[in-house]
Amino acid sequence: MRRFESYGQGVPGLELGDLSGWLIVIEGPDGVGRTTHVNRLRAHLEQLGYAVAETGLTRSDLASRGIRRAKQGNTLGANAFNLFYATDFADRLEQQIVPALRAGFVMITDRYVYSLIARAIVRGADPDWIKQVYSFALLPDAVYYLRIEAQQLVPRVLAEGPFDYWESGMDVPMGEDLYDSFVNYQGRIIHELDGLAREYGFHTLDATRDEDDIADELCASVTRVLMKKPSSATA
Amino acid sequence: MSALTTYGQRPNVYPGKLFIVEGIDGSGKSTQLALLTQWLRSEGYLVTFSEWNSSQIVKATTSRGKKRQLLTPLTFSLIHATDFSDRLEQQIVPALKAGAIVLADRYVYTAFARDVARGVDGGWVRSLYRFAVPPTLAVYFRVPLDVALHRILSARPKLKYYEAGMDLRLSTDVTESYRLFQARIQHEYEGQVREFGLATMDATLPVEVQQRALRDMVRPHLHGVAASPATAALEDEERTA
């Protein structure tokens, strides 16, 4: 039985039949604590004996350098940036995610197509178009959305250092200074993620709660997902 | 995910004109476009030129992907769309807004032909390029496959990995792979002639005969196009052409 499906036509030449792992997505805005929860979830699953792999935005072998370079100069067109991110994602899907699933790993991805769709829409892309672009993506087994208000992100982000140019949407820009733009930009991103959460059925986690409580709920829920869909390698 | 939205829906509302040429390698389209460029400039028009796969920022990634053979049909398609999008935003649309003539050696039809020849879904790639401005005139240089292959292969070219379609494993022999890949691409082009109403040029005719025909195709569209400002600007553009 086929365990994975694509949203649309899928990846050219990719057979989905032999993919046996799990694809778990953690979504949420910048600074919400995704990394912390990815690490905790990983430790939990490894404790249970699962092999875990990870990926996240702009970590591809193919495009990560190019994206970094383009960000430094801020000279790439907005739509070209959307497609550069799509290239990066496609490379990671084919070179990291699919091989891990084929090997029966739990693949935890720190943001998936949803964040990329949200950032493209906020920068003016047509929602139908950008969703169609990403229709080659695999449907995850579960998507966990760390939900917060933009204002509540501010202290968390500032505790780590000054506002980041890109995390503040200053390429658009969305305010007079970094603070204004950060709040407006993250607010729009969160608004789009909220819409995508309804459309794609995310499991929403209130990120303002105690970190341990969130981690407990996340770990328990992922464990249930893994139990419900046993690995075909062991079946 | 949603209803298919596709290429060809964005209106071309700009005062400038976009003329593009398409065809397989060895069809002679680049020669014809170079001659057309010279003629339009000598007629005093403001002309800019955009070449496939030439965005400065994206090129480094594309070259890296090709050199290390990191590209799959999917990422090959997406990185070329990224390049195209950058050139469209930064070169083509601004020049069209300024009322210039933009000449492009290859356009979206190249992606549709090559990507589908590589196994990418035709509907998906047409949707991917939905943001593209449809050209004022698109000319497809139609040539028998053997003629084009002879033009390319008789020069003993060093065929590159992706150029020869080696990633498709059609043949372990580079030249044979190139032949098979070009045949697939040509098949896709032929379908697009009907689909998009591309103008066709008999690319077996003598060069000067084709050039006269090409000028005849372009001439009706030249009304209202901006004139070139000065000789200095002209020389500057010729450097890049």
Query: Hey, are the CB atoms on B73 and A12 less than 8 Å from each other?
Result: yes
On whether residue A81 sits in a domain, the answer given is yes
Provide the residue type at B194 as one letter. R
Query: Hey, are the CB atoms on B5 and A70 less than 8 Å from each other?
Result: no
Residue B219 C-alpha, separation from nearest chain A C-alpha, in angstroms = 32
- Reported ipTM: 0.91
The ranges assigned to domains in chain B are 17-231
On whether residue A221 sits in a domain, the answer given is yes
B21's tokens? 């040429």
Question: Would you place residue B8 in the very low, low, confident or very high pLDDT band (cuts 50, 70, 90)?
Answer: confident
Choice between A181 and A233, residue whose per-residue pLDDT is larger: A181
Residue B103 CB partners (closer than 8 Å, separation 6+) = B19, B20, B33, B36, B37, B40, B47, B48, B49, B50
CA gyration radius, chain B: 18
Q: Under a CB-based contact definition with an 8 Å cutoff, are residues B95 and B15 in contact? A: no
Start-to-end Cα distance in chain B: 41
User: What is the CATH classification number for the domain harbouring A171?
Assistant: 3.40.50.300
Provide the residue type at A72 as one letter. Q
Q: Which H/E stretch holds residue B18?
A: strand B17-22
Residue B170 C-alpha, separation from nearest chain A C-alpha, in angstroms = 14
On whether residue A158 sits in a domain, the answer given is yes
Q: Under a CB-based contact definition with an 8 Å cutoff, are residues A189 and A119 in contact? A: yes
Residues of B in contact with A62 (CB under 8 A): 61, 64-65, 70-71, 75, 79
On whether residue A235 sits in a domain, the answer given is no
A197's tokens? 């959460």
Q: Which H/E stretch holds residue A68?
A: helix A64-73
Measured CA to CA in angstroms, residue A38 lies from A27, A107, A141, B219 at distances of 10, 11, 16, 62
On whether residue A11 sits in a domain, the answer given is no
Nearest to A83 among B71, B82, B124 (CB): B82
Give the model's pLDDT for residue A234: 46
Give the model's pLDDT for residue B230: 57
Residue A2 C-alpha, separation from nearest chain B C-alpha, in angstroms = 20
Residues of A in contact with B130 (CB under 8 A): 126, 129
| Containing structural domain, residue A166 | 22-228
In angstroms, the CA B180 to CA B41 distance is 39
Class level of CATH domain B17-231: alpha beta
Q: Which residue of A has its CA nearest to B4?
A: A132
Query: What does the pLDDT average to over B196-222?
Result: 97
Residue A95 C-alpha, separation from nearest chain B C-alpha, in angstroms = 9
Q: What is the DSSP string of A174-226?
A: -SSSHHHHHHHHHHHHHHHHHHHHHHHT-EEEETTS-HHHHHHHHHHHHHHHH
Query: Hey, are the CB atoms on B1 and A90 less than 8 Å from each other?
Result: no
Residues of A in contact with B60 (CB under 8 A): 65-66, 69
On whether residue A115 sits in a domain, the answer given is yes
* pLDDT above 90 for B201: yes
Give the model's pLDDT for residue B233: 54
Q: Which H/E stretch holds residue B20?
A: strand B17-22
On whether residue A166 sits in a domain, the answer given is yes
* pLDDT above 80 for B73: yes
Query: Hey, are the CB atoms on B82 and A9 less than 8 Å from each other?
Result: no
Query: Hey, are the CB atoms on A79 and B4 less than 8 Å from each other?
Result: no
pLDDT digits (tens, 9 = 90+) for A4-20: 999 988 899 888 888 99
Choice between B223 and A99, residue whose per-residue pLDDT is larger: A99
In angstroms, the CA A17 to CA A184 distance is 43
pLDDT digits (tens, 9 = 90+) for A120-169: 999 999 999 999 999 999 999 999 999 999 999 999 888 888 888 889 98
Query: Hey, are the CB atoms on B57 and A70 less than 8 Å from each other?
Result: yes
Give the model's pLDDT for residue A162: 87
**What's the total number of domains in chain A?**
1
Interhelix angle for A78-92 vs A64-73, to 10°? Answer: 160
Find the farthest-apart pair of alpha carbons in chain B and give their distance in angstroms, rounded.
Answer: 53
Q: What is the DSSP string of A128-180?
A: HHHHHHGGGSBPPSEEEEEE--HHHHHHHHHHTSSPPTTTTTTTS--SSSHHH
